[in-house]
């Protein structure tokens, strides 16, 4: 009897590690021959960072340890591992294998969500350790605002919302792949988002920015493109020329939206199309060379040169798109679709940002002073 390590390629740049038995063994539960045991541990197909390579090496070391144990189990005619294998798989390894691949943009939300989970429970969390209480305890931990980053700064509620939401999305995937018995995504509540002031630009300010030169014309074009389309930084960064389609007056983009994990079709204006530059090869990036590490400095310098004294992030251009569309009369359902929201209630937050009708109403009562 020989036990060997094998790999099976999955979606999203991952491979599942399993053991191959030859000749096949008889499963004591079903009475059927069984050639494979999936270990519920995963490799990153194209490791980009030292952390990716380190985790791959640890995964293979674990696989080799399990292979040796299985060899001994089979030689001793002990087949109890067949029924226990799925329950004792590493959820932490599974989480990292998904989060590291999903982190396609320079934003570190997926990486941080993984780090907060490990800070809460360590590296030994198994699939069969997951239940409603664990999820509720983790949510409470996130709401406590733990400070684990380099700056040791407590996180805000909405940051906890984002990180915990990623944890729940992986629970959903694990249930879909039959790695956990309960749909904990459905059985647990998301952390409620805290209302905040969403900084965005007036139309006149946006027009002023368009006329203001920047030391980084690439990021300037990308920012204005976001304001004219509502696209996120991550979607603009990964946009390819083959996704830009149509003809004069009917341009649109067909792209894969990273955050929603689905395909989208979005009409774009002639002005937005003009910001794309000269068309290149189909697989070339439209905004090639964008670096997230440059965004903060770019924004500060660009705002200062335009004379706009406010702390607005790159995401503020997406907020600007939604807010200006509302003020200019576009119905909220259409805006919701253009932003890629699954529920129109998500879009309703922009009605609280700046309501021109409230402004008009505020000036209707006059005292003649």
Q: What mean pLDDT comes out for the span 287-309?
A: 91
CB 190 within 8 A of CB 168: yes
Give strand pairing partners of 6: 18
Pairing relationship of beta strands 33-44 and 262-267 according to DSSP bridges:
unpaired
178 shares its domain with 315? no
> Do 29 and 159 share a domain, yes or no?
yes
> Do residues 18 and 154 both lie within one domain?
yes
Q: How many domains is the chain built from?
A: 2
Give the HSE-up count for residue 74: Cα atoms under 13 Å, Cβ half-sphere. 23
Rounded to whole angstroms, the Cα distance separating 325 from 341 reads 15
86 falls in which pLDDT band (50, 70, 90)?
low
Closest by Cα among 212, 273, 202 to 239: 273
User: Could you tell me if 56 and 5 are in contact, meaning their C-beta atoms sit under 8 angstroms apart?
Assistant: no
Q: Give a yes or no: residue 33 inside a domain.
A: yes
Q: Is residue 193 part of a domain?
A: no
Same domain membership, residue 175 and residue 215: no
Tens of pLDDT along 16-65?
A: 998 998 888 776 556 677 888 888 888 999 888 888 898 899 899 989 98
Q: What is the pTM of this model?
A: 0.57
Whether 169 and 233 map to the same domain: the answer is: no
Find out whether 4 and 20 touch, Cβ atoms under 8 Å: yes
Same domain, residue pair 152 and 92: yes
User: pLDDT tier at 106 (50, 70, 90 boundaries)?
Assistant: very low
Calpha distance 346→12 (Å, rounded) = 27
Q: Are residues 167 and 229 in the same domain?
A: no
The verdict on 180 and 207 lying in the same domain is: no
Whether 169 contacts 114, CB under 8 Å = no
**368 lies in some domain:** no
Both 299 and 223 in one domain: the answer is yes
| Co-location of 230 and 280 in the same domain | yes
Q: Is residue 367 part of a domain?
A: no
Asked if residue 364 belongs to a domain, the reply is no
Residue 6 belongs to a domain? yes
Q: Is 164 exposed, middle or buried (0-12, 13-18, 19+ CB in 10 A)?
A: buried
Indicate the pairing of strand 33-44 with strand 14-26: antiparallel
Q: Mean pLDDT across the chain, nearest whole number?
A: 83
Residue 220 and residue 148 share a domain: no
CATH number at residue 254: 1.10.443.10
pLDDT in tens, 168-201: 999 998 888 778 889 999 999 988 877 666 678 8
Q: Do residues 219 and 209 make contact, with C-beta atoms less than 8 angstroms apart?
A: no
Q: Are residues 152 and 297 in the same domain?
A: no
Do the domain assignments include residue 225? yes
Q: What is the extent of the structural domain holding 291?
A: 203-359
Residue 176 maps to a domain = yes
Q: Let me know: does 37 contact 55? Beta carbons within 8 Å.
A: no
| pLDDT tens-digit map of 237-255 | 989 999 998 888 788 888 6
């Amino acid at each position: 009897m020989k036990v060997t390590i094998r790999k099976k390629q999955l979606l999203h740049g991952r491979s599942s590690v399993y053991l191959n038995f030859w000749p096949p063994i008889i499963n004591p539960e079903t009475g059927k021959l069984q050639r494979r045991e999936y270990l519920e541990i995963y490799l990153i197909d194209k490791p980009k960072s030292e952390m990716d390579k380190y985790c791959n090496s640890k995964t293979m070391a674990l696989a080799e340890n399990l292979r040796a144990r299985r060899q001994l189990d089979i030689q001793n005619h002990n087949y109890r591992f067949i029924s226990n294998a799925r329950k004792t798989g590493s959820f932490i390894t599974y989480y990292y294998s998904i989060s590291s691949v999903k982190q396609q943009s320079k934003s570190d939300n997926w990486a941080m969500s993984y780090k907060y989970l490990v800070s809460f429970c360590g590296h030994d969390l198994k699939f069969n350790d997951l239940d409603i209480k664990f999820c509720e305890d983790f949510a409470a931990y996130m709401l406590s605002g733990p400070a684990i980053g380099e700056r040791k700064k407590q996180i805000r509620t909405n940051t906890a919302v984002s990180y915990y939401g990623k944890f729940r999305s992986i629970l959903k995937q694990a249930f879909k792949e039959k790695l956990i018995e309960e749909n904990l995504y459905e059985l647990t509540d998301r952390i409620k988002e805290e209302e905040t002031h969403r900084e965005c630009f007036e139309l006149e300010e946006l027009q002023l920015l368009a006329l203001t030169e920047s030391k980084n014309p690439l990021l300037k074009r990308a920012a204005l493109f976001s304001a004219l389309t509502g696209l996120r930084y991550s979607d603009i960064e990964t946009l390819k020329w083959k996704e830009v389609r149509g003809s004069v007056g009917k341009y649109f983009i067909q792209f894969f939206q990273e955050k929603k994990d689905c395909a989208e079709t979005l009409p774009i204006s002639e002005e937005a199309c003009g910001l794309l530059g000269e068309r290149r090869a189909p697989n070339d990036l439209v905004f090639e060379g964008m670096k997230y590490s440059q965004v903060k400095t770019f924004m500060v310098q660009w705002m200062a040169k335009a004379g706009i004294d406010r702390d607005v992030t790159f995401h503020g251009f997406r907020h600007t798109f939604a807010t200006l569309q509302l003020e200019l009369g576009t119905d909220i359902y259409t805006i919701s679709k253009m932003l890629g929201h699954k529920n129109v209630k998500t879009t309703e937050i922009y009605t609280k940002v700046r309501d021109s009708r409230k402004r008009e109403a505020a000036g209707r009562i006059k005292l003649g002073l």
